[in-house]
Amino acid sequence: MRHALVFGGTGQIGEPLIDRLRNGGWRVTALSRNPQRDEPGVTWLQGAFDAMPVLPAQVEAIISCGPLDAFSHWYARSGPGAPRVIAFGSTSVMVKQHSVDPEERDVAQRLQLAEDRLTTAARERGASPTILRPTLVYGAARDATLSRIARIAHRVRWFPLPRRANGLRQPVHVGDLAAAVVDCIGATGAFDQAFDLPGGETLQYREMVRRVLRVLEPPAHLLELPLPVFEMAVRIAQSRGIATGFGDAAIERMRRDLVFDATPARDAFGYAPRAFAPKASMFPRAG
Ligand SMILES: NC(=O)c1ccc[n+]([C@@H]2O[C@H](COP(=O)([O-])OP(=O)(O)OC[C@H]3O[C@@H](n4cnc5c(N)ncnc54)[C@H](OP(=O)(O)O)[C@@H]3O)[C@@H](O)[C@H]2O)c1
């Protein structure tokens, strides 16, 4: 039976990935910082990158669905033998590279360094690395963008955006990302490559938010405000502890297209993400 070692298996991408691996006949060893319950085909180990338990000596694939930085440091100094190593990065590596916010530029730089560190370490160990860079992730009611919007909209029944929030987006479902991992494990065209993984539909930011608000129970309304009024609303919300960490760079990006090409991933391992058709169950409930 093929054996995979999975990091970040309790995350929004990791959970559907473990299901897919198990359903595909893989044996999974997964690491979590917290105790987890074993299931048929899945053995959980408790530990962390700086407190690693005893791991299997050899597996077919090592997969990271958690922080790339920490994983790449650990993999560069240790880890079992494995012909394949697959890790999630982020399209933020490009999007935030030239941000007006120095903290965002730092995120992009750390992601780039982590990608390079992982790729170099894998090559030195004779393994084939694949880096997967999702765009805006949704689907498990745990993402940092649309679920956050849904949570606020549930509370106040509307959600504000600045006018002309027309930048293009490609939200990608967690299930399509899990499928991408499994499909690229044995696809030789994916070896030693990095792939952008956008969703299957490109739409304007405001339309993306509108679709989310429409499926909430009860539905919420989109309120489009002049930019200065929107900025003031954000400042008021932040003074009450809402929308914290939402800075000028994020507001500027709503009018900017963030579009990535799925063709290389499609050609290499048949990547075919779904269109954006949100349902209430994909977002946190009110309360
Ligand atoms: N969310 C997005 O919109 C998005 C977009 C682009 C790229 N990505 C990338 O895709 C990957 C998966 O995203 P995700 O949102 O599913 O991940 P996540 O929820 O941030 O993390 C997944 C799991 O990783 C483990 N983890 C988190 N921090 C850790 C740490 N400091 N040390 C060790 N383990 C840690 C946690 O498992 P335990 O608590 O069980 O240890 C967590 O459940 C990440 O690399 C992320 O950067 C995400």
Paired with 131 in beta bridges are: 87, 194
pLDDT at 99: 85
The predicted model gives 250-269 an average pLDDT of 95
Is 266 inside a domain boundary?
Answer: no
Cβ atoms within 10 Å, residue 143: 21
- Could you tell me the distance, in angstroms and rounded to a whole number, from the CA of residue 186 to the centre of ligand 1? 24
Residue 34's CATH number: 3.40.50.720
The predicted model gives 226-244 an average pLDDT of 86
The predicted model gives 53-62 an average pLDDT of 97
Residue 24 has pLDDT above 90, yes or no: yes
Q: Which domain holds residue 61?
A: 1-134
Alpha carbon distance 110, 116 (integer Å): 10
Spatial contact of 194 and 283, defined as CB atoms under 8 Å apart = no
Residue-averaged pLDDT of the chain = 95
Give the position, in ligand 1's atom list, of the atom nearest the Cα of 136.
3
Indicate the DSSP class of residue 39: B
Is 178 inside a domain boundary?
Answer: no
Any idea what the Cα angle at residue 82 is, between residues 197 and 59, rounded to 5°?
A: 105
pLDDT at 245: 72
Give residue 57's Cα distance to chain centre: 28
CA dihedral 93, 97, 100, 106 (to 10 degrees): 70
Residue 79 has pLDDT above 90, yes or no: no
Q: Where are the alpha helices (DSSP H) in 226-270?
A: 227-239, 248-253, 263-269
The predicted model gives 190-205 an average pLDDT of 98
Is 195 inside a domain boundary?
Answer: no
- Could you tell me the distance, in angstroms and rounded to a whole number, from the CA of residue 70 to the centre of ligand 1? 11
Is 221 inside a domain boundary?
Answer: no
Report whether residue 79 contacts ligand 1, using a CB cutoff of 6 Å.
Answer: no
pLDDT-based confidence at residue 241 (cuts at 50, 70, 90): confident
Is 142 inside a domain boundary?
Answer: no
Q: Name the pTM for this structure.
A: 0.96
- Could you tell me the distance, in angstroms and rounded to a whole number, from the CA of residue 230 to the centre of ligand 1? 31
pLDDT-based confidence at residue 129 (cuts at 50, 70, 90): very high
Spatial contact of 63 and 20, defined as CB atoms under 8 Å apart = no
CA dihedral 149, 177, 104, 156 (to 10 degrees): 0
Is 77 inside a domain boundary?
Answer: yes
| Strand 3-7 relative to strand 61-64, pairing | parallel
Paired with 71 in beta bridges are: none
Is 1 inside a domain boundary?
Answer: yes
- Pick from 25-39, 159-173, 246-260: least confident: 246-260
Is 246 inside a domain boundary?
Answer: no
Residue 130 has pLDDT above 70, yes or no: yes
pLDDT at 240: 83
Any idea what the Cα angle at residue 75 is, between residues 74 and 80, rounded to 5°?
A: 115
Report whether residue 45 contacts ligand 1, using a CB cutoff of 6 Å.
Answer: no
Residue percentage of the chain with pLDDT more than 70: 99
Question: What total number of domains does the chain contain?
Answer: 1
Report whether residue 32 contacts ligand 1, using a CB cutoff of 6 Å.
Answer: yes
For 170, residues 6+ apart whose C-beta sits below 8 A from its C-beta are 135, 136, 198, 199, 200, 201, 202, 203, 258, 259, 260
Q: Which helix (H) or strand (E) holds 194?
A: strand 193-197
